[in-house]
Amino acid sequence: MQYVDGFIVPVPKKRLNAYRTMARKAAKVWREHGALDYRECVAEDVKVGKWTSFPRSVKLKPGETVVFAWITYKSRKHRDRVNTKVMKDPRLADMMDPKAMPFDAKRMIYGGFEVFVSA
């Protein structure tokens, strides 16, 4: 069974290029340290729901969009090993500063998921 880290973040539309640059760098680092797949997707058909929705979940503000992303691993143990290496990688040091991030990290939603259906 595979394991997935998933997350969604609100990104100001005017910062999407900066976010893409950061995401490409992160993808390279994660893949070099063993992640099987790394995807970041920008909202294209995402409506605000009456009770729940991607925009509501991150308290989307005017001028922002939602980015939905995931990183795939062989297992949770594999994820933990990869992330330990990633967090020590000096190429990501500047990204760990909340002031340098092109999004509001306080509104990021993330978690680890065990894959139980794969087709």
pLDDT confidence of residue 13: 97
pLDDT digits over 21-43, tens only?
A: 999 999 999 999 999 999 999 99
Q: How far is CA 83 from CA 6, 9, 45, 53, 89, in A?
A: 13, 19, 31, 29, 10
pLDDT confidence of residue 43: 96
pLDDT confidence of residue 21: 94
Q: Give CA–CA dist 27/73, Å, rounded.
A: 13
What is the chain's mean pLDDT, rounded? 94
Taking residues 65-94, what's their average pLDDT? 96
Q: Give CA–CA dist 5/112, Å, rounded.
A: 4
pLDDT confidence of residue 93: 85
Burial class (CB within 10 angstroms; exposed 0-12, middle 13-18, buried 19+) of 11: buried
pLDDT confidence band for 98 (50 / 70 / 90):
confident
Taking residues 63-68, what's their average pLDDT? 97
pTM of the full structure: 0.92
List, in order of start, the domains of the chain with CATH numbers. Answer: 3-114 (3.30.70.100)
